[in-house]
């Protein structure tokens, strides 16, 4: 009975195709015959698979199978070479991708997909990627670099690839380890060295993990990331929020590498690929970019005084946690404010941090490299390939992320200045990440002889901008600071999140929001007003500049936006 239903469906599809071809030909709508492939997608038991994604391998367009597993796909795909045979590939979450070769004139296809076993082997030995050459040889150990050389070098140069060897993290860990409270878990390795920490979360010594040969990589490996089956969005750090699917297939050089990923049309030895939509979602990133420190016992802080809109947001846990990495929450809050038809609705972390940029041109069109590409590679649409540079707080990413507008007007012996700062391109607060990240707005008004005008009223850069006479000491200069300020039990501010008992203020810039500041300068009558200028700088720092900062290079100071106007222009 089941087979009769499938046969009837295939006959019906063929009939529809014939009718469509006849109608379009009769009205002269096409001069070239449209070719279609029809078929079905089944599991290993012969049952139909609904909503499987089917496409010609490498093509951009795909179709979905119906409830009976049936599909129909056009052969007239753009930018495809004329061929007598096509590889038709199908993929669906929780199944390994499958394929069949279609030759022109052959009968309907049947593509069978094998379900990914619901298991996780704790004794699995992760593949440690190293920069080998871009070819595959039986004499080479199994290594992701053999085929994905381009992705390897991008990842290796990124901070993601160096998570386990970051010197600033190591310094912070030493302080944390010496002052850690009895109730606090040892969680640094949970994000920065996940291979070492996965089987012992919250209890792994980060320094030991770095020294351990089994985790001699950079902390975060290709094989680890592409084994992630599920992520629990919450405040658990790193591996505590992750479910893995570590699988054993075969032996020695006949070993298969199970890998989840965003492609439904990848099928190539020795990789057993499985399409997973999670890899294109921000939830994937939340495991290490959304966590918080639990306060002991029943302690809590007045979170609504700082975040009044957060009463119904679960991740604040009613003030029972101190935010650490909070970027996912910030992104989620922004997305919740957008209408469904807004152009930024659905924008994900990957859209910005794994995207193409002008300095990376020309696009590359293969996800494999070298000899493997020449022998087995499928050309793809460039926007379907995600670079693995994982750009974060770099000069390139921060330049243009904010916009400055200055409006100045003279009124007798006073200069009125209005500064607008807008977070135009970040899908989270600016700055984001560690609690020490901060922005400084520095404002200067000068006469024609480059002398500073005296500020009468307006805000100043706070003390954490740097007290002193050095060029980079900005405290008490006209301007403003943007940061999340935390406090410890002794009333000390600007502490690390693990030391804090409360957040006392947070004026960081939300996505697409504008901050306005007014400044009033004294304007002597003997000054040529046409030569008066106003300059505003937006400076990014990775740390607060306190008395503890001896090496200013650790501030990682960057001027991410700067504007100057002349008084006679009025504004820009």
Count of CB atoms situated within 10 Å of the CB of 309: 10
Domain boundary among 384, 416, 431: 384
- For the four alpha carbons of 537, 538, 539 and 543, in that order, the dihedral sign comes to positive
pLDDT at 370: 81
Tell whether 316 and 265 lie within a shared domain. yes
Structure tokens at 402: 């904010």
What is the domain extent for residue 27? 2-113
- Give the gyration radius of the chain's Cα atoms: 29
What is the maximum span of the chain, computed from C-alpha positions, in angstroms? 99
Residues listed for the chain: 572
Tell whether 180 and 284 lie within a shared domain. yes
Domain boundary among 97, 113, 129: 113
Asked, for residue 119, whether it belongs to a domain, the answer is: no
Asked, for residue 363, whether it belongs to a domain, the answer is: yes
Asked, for residue 222, whether it belongs to a domain, the answer is: yes
Mapped onto helix, strand or coil, the DSSP state of residue 259 is: strand
Tell whether 151 and 275 lie within a shared domain. yes
pLDDT at 29: 44
Tell whether 173 and 214 lie within a shared domain. yes
Tell whether 308 and 451 lie within a shared domain. no
pLDDT at 379: 87
Number of C-alpha atoms within 13 angstroms, CB side, residue 89?
21
Query: Could you tell me the CATH number of the domain that includes residue 87?
Result: 2.60.40.1120
Tell whether 304 and 331 lie within a shared domain. yes
How far is it, in rounded angstroms, from Cα 312 to Cα 315?
9
Asked, for residue 544, whether it belongs to a domain, the answer is: yes
Tell whether 375 and 428 lie within a shared domain. no
Domain boundary among 331, 356, 384: 384
pLDDT at 217: 54
How far is it, in rounded angstroms, from Cα 560 to Cα 551?
21
How far is it, in rounded angstroms, from Cα 570 to Cα 235?
48
Q: Given strand 70-74, what is the order of strands in its sheet?
A: 70-74, 36-43, 109-113
Q: Given strand 533-541, what is the order of strands in its sheet?
A: 502-506, 479-487, 438-446, 533-541, 558-566
134, 149 in Cβ contact below 8 A?
yes
Tell whether 375 and 409 lie within a shared domain. no
Tell whether 346 and 373 lie within a shared domain. yes
How far is it, in rounded angstroms, from Cα 129 to Cα 212?
15
Full DSSP string of 336-372: HTS-TT-TTTT--HHHHHT---GGGPSPP--SS-HHH
557, 540 in Cβ contact below 8 A?
yes
Q: Please list the rounded mean pLDDT of every run of 10 residues in the chain (572 residues).
A: 45 50 44 78 97 93 96 71 75 96 84 96 83 41 80 86 86 94 94 91 90 62 94 97 90 78 89 96 97 96 96 95 96 96 96 88 87 84 90 89 96 95 97 95 95 97 94 95 97 96 98 97 90 96 82 84 85 54
Tell whether 48 and 176 lie within a shared domain. no
Structure tokens at 497: 């999140």
Asked, for residue 37, whether it belongs to a domain, the answer is: yes
Asked, for residue 344, whether it belongs to a domain, the answer is: yes
φ, ψ of residue 371 in degrees (nearest 5): -65, -35
Burial of 38 (0-12, 13-18, 19+ CB in 10 A): middle
Tell whether 321 and 463 lie within a shared domain. no
pLDDT at 141: 56
Measured N-to-C along each axis, helices 282-289 and 327-336 cross at an angle, to the nearest 10 degrees, of 140
How far is it, in rounded angstroms, from Cα 520 to Cα 522?
7
Count of CB atoms situated within 10 Å of the CB of 204: 25
Pairing state between β 414-423 and 402-411: antiparallel
Query: Could you tell me the CATH number of the domain that includes residue 536?
Result: 2.60.40
pLDDT at 165: 83
Asked, for residue 132, whether it belongs to a domain, the answer is: no
Asked, for residue 120, whether it belongs to a domain, the answer is: no
Tell whether 334 and 413 lie within a shared domain. no
Structure tokens at 62: 């795909």
- Please state the domain count of the chain: 3
20's enclosing H/E stretch is helix 2-26
Residue 238's nearest CA partner among 180, 282, 191 is: 191
């Amino acid at each position: 009975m089941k087979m009769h239903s499938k046969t009837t469906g295939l006959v019906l599809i063929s009939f529809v195709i014939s009718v469509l071809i006849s109608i379009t030909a009769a009205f002269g709508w096409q001069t070239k015959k449209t070719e279609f492939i029809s078929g079905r997608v089944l599991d290993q038991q012969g049952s139909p698979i609904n909503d499987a994604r089917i496409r010609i391998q490498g093509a951009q367009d795909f179709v979905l199978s119906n409830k009976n597993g049936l599909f129909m796909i056009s052969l007239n795909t753009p930018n495809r070479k004329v061929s007598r045979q096509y590889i038709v590939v199908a993929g669906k979450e929780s199944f390994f991708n499958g394929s069949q070769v279609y030759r022109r004139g052959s009968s309907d296809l049947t593509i069978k997909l094998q379900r990914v076993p619901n298991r996780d082997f704790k004794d699995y030995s992760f593949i440690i990627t190293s920069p080998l050459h871009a070819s595959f040889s039986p004499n080479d150990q199994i290594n992701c670099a053999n085929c994905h050389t381009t992705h390897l070098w991008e990842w290796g140069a990124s901070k993601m690839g160096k998570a386990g060897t970051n010197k600033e993290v190591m310094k912070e860990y030493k302080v944390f380890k010496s002052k850690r409270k009895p109730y606090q878990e040892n969680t640094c390795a949970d994000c920065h060295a996940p291979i070492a920490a996965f089987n012992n979360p919250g209890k792994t010594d980060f320094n030991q993990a770095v020294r351990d040969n089994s985790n001699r990589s950079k902390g975060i490996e290709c094989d680890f990331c592409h084994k992630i089956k599920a992520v629990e969005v919450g405040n658990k750090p790193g591996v505590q929020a992750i479910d893995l699917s570590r699988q054993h297939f075969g032996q020695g050089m006949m070993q298969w590498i199970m890998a989840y990923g965003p492609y439904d049309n990848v099928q190539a030895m020795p990789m057993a690929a499985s399409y997973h939509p999670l890899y294109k979602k921000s939830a994937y990133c939340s495991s290490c970019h959304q966590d918080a420190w639990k306060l002991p016992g029943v302690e809590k802080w007045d979170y609504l005084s700082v975040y009044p809109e957060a009463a119904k947001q679960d991740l604040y846990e009613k003030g029972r946690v101190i935010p650490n990495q909070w970027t996912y929450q910030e992104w989620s809050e922004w997305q919740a404010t957008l209408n469904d038809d807004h152009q930024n609705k659905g924008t994900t972390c990957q859209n910005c941090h794994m995207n193409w940029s002008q300095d990376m041109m020309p696009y590359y069109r293969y996800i494999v490299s070298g000899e493997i590409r020449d022998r087995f590679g499928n050309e793809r649409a460039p926007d379907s390939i995600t670079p693995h540079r994982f750009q974060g707080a770099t000069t390139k990413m921060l330049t243009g992320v904010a916009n400055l507008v200055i409006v100045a007007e003279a009124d007798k012996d006073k200069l009125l200045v209005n500064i607008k700062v807008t977070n135009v391109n970040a899908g989270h607060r600016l700055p984001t990440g560690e609690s020490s990240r901060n922005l400084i707005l520095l404002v200067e008004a000068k006469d024609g002889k480059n002398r500073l005008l005296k500020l009468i009223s307006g805000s100043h850069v706070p003390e954490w901008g740097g007290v002193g006479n050095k060029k980079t000491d900005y405290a008490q200069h006209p301007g403003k600071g943007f940061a999340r300020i935390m406090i410890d039990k002794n009333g000390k501010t600007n502490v690390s999140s693990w030391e804090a008992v409360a957040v006392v203020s947070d004026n960081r810039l939300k996505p697409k929001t504008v901050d306005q500041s007014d400044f009033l300068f004294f304007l002597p009558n003997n000054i040529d007003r046409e030569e008066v200028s106003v300059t505003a700088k937006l400076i990014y720092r990775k740390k607060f500049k306190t008395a503890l900062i001896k090496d200013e290079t650790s501030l990682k100071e960057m001027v991410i936006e700067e504007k100057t106007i002349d008084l006679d222009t009025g504004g820009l």
